[in-house]
Structure 1
């Protein structure tokens, strides 16, 4: 449901060596520890640095290098202490200040990090790594233009600085210059052929451009270099859903492999819980999400939290990203407890959840950006479930349930493609709360325009060549019709041109296609639906928020019923609204239904006029009813755990 994103790694691990001099016992110990550190023998290096510090507590280089090891191990508080000791001992060393700055930025203390780096750059104006880190800190503070300038300065000083090329690609990607971003990531990989951050962001950018097969190949190549990297592996799993060339059996196997490689080794051998075993007591539900903010997932999670029966459940929210806005403020009022996990390692976060006595821990992100599935791998709660944010299994052997419905996941059909047991809710697994009141145009735009306009506002990565071929077939069968495709990546000129040529290759003139980039603000985005007569759902990766928004604005949606969850969400949503006649069984049927609807002005007018009332009468906007269904599912999960012996 959302794009995966990972910033290039900041260089916070620059080791330092003591000045050359007499070979004192302390100097010898330090040299031995440094050699072990550089050879990757971290336990030996840590012991050596501590031996040095036992004799000389203020040793700046031992403090700095031990801080690096502690940061890598997630022991952040002690790492900060060591870095501060090093800065105090050698305040003139810009590298030590830079290391501390990176750690402070990681902890959300960007202003202090920026001050440290300004001093470091004043001490050494040609410090490329310092400018590189400064660029990341500035971006974290929202000063993107200054951050990009600092990154450019790092590249001026060191044109062969691979990490800075990757970061520049990240800045370009954020600005919508996707083709230039791809070139920057490729430059970084030429300079450092196994650079994980460049591989990751190259794959993500290719996916955004709709070059899904290239993205998959990029992630597979990266995983060959870094088989133990869970983020790259998650990105590969996510990308597999966008192409029809990977059957659900293969996608399932890939998820199982992720769980076995990254999650199973973290499961405690003998987990015991102290939760009250009463079957009917109030349950403590923990929601783990990076999206307690203005994000598409919030349109579905916020109404649930608002409608929860607080006599049945206690709501604990665990935000796992630092994004906060007016929507976050609303979420905070809906939580009985608000416990940020940002800045914590996975083991520390799992310990916090276990101490909180959560009964059912619910993942809202899956393998999407900023997710924390490795917290769930440590089994911090008796019952664990996944819902909403990801269209497939987690692959975790310790994730007990996945919440869905009987259309998105038909009984005895998709069960075998999940490591979880499927908890199917009656009448749909989603309820939608739109960002704005429904104010659809009262009549189809074709009445004034004299032609039918189809459209899709989905992520461009879902608009694969197979989808373009089917949409082109529809346009050719409806004379004079037009198509609007709106997605942020279409702000990139080469990407837009590639799609125009793709439609031309199927015999559709480019003047019949409007390729639009993202529209701000939200009100203008919603008003763009006034231009559409019929929305076309992509496949195999259906829309979710976009489908709900189209319906909310009076636009009927034609969808293609696929084999597994990612390709059946559209059918689930339309069925909730009584629009089963817009669900196609195969691509030819999809074309036929879209063409028939385009040729029926009375039907289009009727759907437009009655859509708001239809949605308000549907389970899609019955928030209280949806909350009762979720609470019943939670109760059944809890009783199932008790029945199985409740360790």
Structure 2
């Protein structure tokens, strides 16, 4: 369900840190052997013998506690394993001894960024640039710091300066591309990623981000090819492998069985080896006691996932369940504050390694741990791989299996995953909720009661899904609908349409199918939430893409009175639309193949009275449906969770 812009992306945000090579100034009491000891430690460091290097630097610091370069290099090692407090002390000693060393200030700034001390980090990096204006790495690091503080214009200026000084600086090229991608300047982003790969062919980040950007442009086959080639070079890159699995969900020509196998291969390579042998949990196995539920998500904010999880967190029966939220992203807004207030406990795991986060969750005594991200951005699947809770579940955020046996269950329903093939395509055991697996919290916005065709005489079809879902097959079918309704128009809106080249490519694709470009309107993202929702007032009929159906967009369209025509496919990703429409009583809008999809859309376009009736009654229909029955859905979910717990308890814990 997640917006594709939130797909997992490996950003090349790694700071350019420098290991000091000089001996530095020694204190008057330091023995002459100090410089030699530092040289030996540095040799170990450069050869990759980290334990020996650390021991050597500590020996130097025993002789000369303020040795700037030993402090710097030890801090680099400590920072690499999360030892931030000791690394901070090292840098403070080093900077005090050698206040005019730009490399020390730059490295110090990188550590401070990691520690969330944004103002001091920026001050340290600006000091490095003041001391050495042509220090490209310091400009790059300051760009990362500013980007982390959401000063995107400042970050852009810093990356630009770093590249002026070092035009082939691959990390800066990659981060510039990623920043442009975030601004929907997708074509420019592709150029920067390709330049980064030319400068550093073995660097994984630009390869990964290039694949992601091609996917956002709707160039799915090219994206899959990039990921596959990248994994040939970087077979242990879990995020790139995740992105390949995710990208395959958009393809119509790859068998669902093969897509399942890619997900299992991801788990076999990256997750399964992390599951401790003979894993036992100390949780109290009494079947009817109060349970502690943990939700893990990077999207506890104004994001699609929160539209569906917020009412559940709010409505949980606190006599039977304690709710702990584990946010794994630093993004925060008004929705975050509502969720924080609704949860019993709020335990951020941002910055914690998967191992440390798993240990924290186990120490919290979580009975059932629920993943809300799957193979999407900033997911923590490798935390779940360590099995910190006795029962683990995935739900909502990803339209396919995680591929992980360490996750016991996946929540779904009988329409999205009919009994049979779906069970064979899931590494988790499927638990089918009786009235759909979605619980939608609709926005507070007025309904426009009349479909626009009644005033204009022209039917407007539309889709506000991300371009990743609008594949060549979808364009072909939508073009056929326009041919059969000669005066109809099509309105497509997505963030990615803000990119000129992407917009031109889609316009040309409709021209190729014989559609006058004046009949197709392509809109970029409308920033204001009410502006986005008001855009539905322009639609008579929403067209669900396939094989990757919409979720939030379908719920929004229905809430705004717009009927949605969907095509039900073979797997979950292609049956979410059918699930939603079934649970609001609109089964007549579900097609079983392309021909029926076209026929239903054309027939509805030719019946203005039916459109008017649907629009007038849509709000009441949704309000009476299981989709917006927050308490009823939560009780159903809780019953499923309780059954999972009892099953674990009956097995002896």
Matches for 1:455-466 after TM superposition, within 5 Å: 455-466=462-473
Residue of 567, 575, 581 corresponding to 1:574 = 581
> Number of aligned pairs?
645
Secondary structure of 2:22's match?
Answer: coil
Matches for 1:126-137 after TM superposition, within 5 Å: 126-137=134-145
Whole-Å separation in 2 of the counterparts to 1:567 and 1:552? 21
Cα deviation code 1:92-141 (max 9, x no counterpart): 22112212211221222211111111111111111110010101111211
Whether 1:591 aligns to 2:598 is: yes
Q: TM-score, normalised on structure 2?
A: 0.96
1:118 alignment counterpart = 126
Matches for 1:486-505 after TM superposition, within 5 Å: 486-505=493-512
Whether 1:368 aligns to 2:376 is: yes
Secondary structure of 2:249's match?
Answer: helix
Secondary structure of 1:142's match?
Answer: coil
2:259 alignment counterpart = 251
1:86 CA drift (Å): 2.7
2:182 alignment counterpart = 174
Q: Is the 8 A contact 2:16 2:140 kept in 1?
A: no
Residue of 62, 66, 74 corresponding to 1:58 = 66
1:598 CA drift (Å): 0.8
Q: Is the 8 A contact 1:12 1:68 kept in 2?
A: no
Secondary structure of 2:565's match?
Answer: strand
Secondary structure of 2:292's match?
Answer: strand
Cα deviation code 1:139-169 (max 9, x no counterpart): 2112111111111111111112111111221
Whole-Å separation in 2 of the counterparts to 1:322 and 1:83? 25
1:269 CA drift (Å): 2.6
Matches for 1:48-447 after TM superposition, within 5 Å: 48-437=56-445, 439-447=446-454
1:17 alignment counterpart = 21
Secondary structure of 1:358's match?
Answer: coil
Tell me which moved more, 545-554 or 82-91: 82-91
Cα deviation code 1:167-225 (max 9, x no counterpart): 22122222221111111111111111122121122111111111111111111222222
Aligned pair in 2 of structure 1 residues 12, 283: CA closer, same or farther (>3 Å)?
Answer: farther
Q: Is the 8 A contact 1:317 1:338 kept in 2?
A: yes
Q: TM-score, normalised on structure 1?
A: 0.97
Whole-Å separation in 2 of the counterparts to 1:90 and 1:329? 44
Give the CA RMSD over aligned residues. Answer: 1.6
1:21 CA drift (Å): 11
1:417 CA drift (Å): 1.2
Secondary structure of 1:399's match?
Answer: coil
Secondary structure of 1:80's match?
Answer: helix
Tell me which moved more, 306-315 or 255-264: 255-264
Secondary structure of 1:414's match?
Answer: helix
Q: Is the 8 A contact 2:23 2:35 kept in 1?
A: no
Q: Is the 8 A contact 1:10 1:132 kept in 2?
A: no
Cα deviation code 1:53-91 (max 9, x no counterpart): 333333222222222222222333333333333323322
Q: Is the 8 A contact 1:9 1:197 kept in 2?
A: no
Secondary structure of 2:490's match?
Answer: strand
Secondary structure of 1:392's match?
Answer: coil
2:488 alignment counterpart = 481
Residue of 559, 562, 565 corresponding to 1:555 = 562
Q: Is the 8 A contact 2:16 2:138 kept in 1?
A: no
Secondary structure of 1:535's match?
Answer: strand
Whole-Å separation in 2 of the counterparts to 1:80 and 1:226? 32
1:259 CA drift (Å): 1.1
Q: Is the 8 A contact 2:13 2:144 kept in 1?
A: no
Whole-Å separation in 2 of the counterparts to 1:87 and 1:217? 47
Tell me which moved more, 464-473 or 82-91: 82-91
1:510 alignment counterpart = 517
Tell me which moved more, 427-436 or 565-574: 427-436
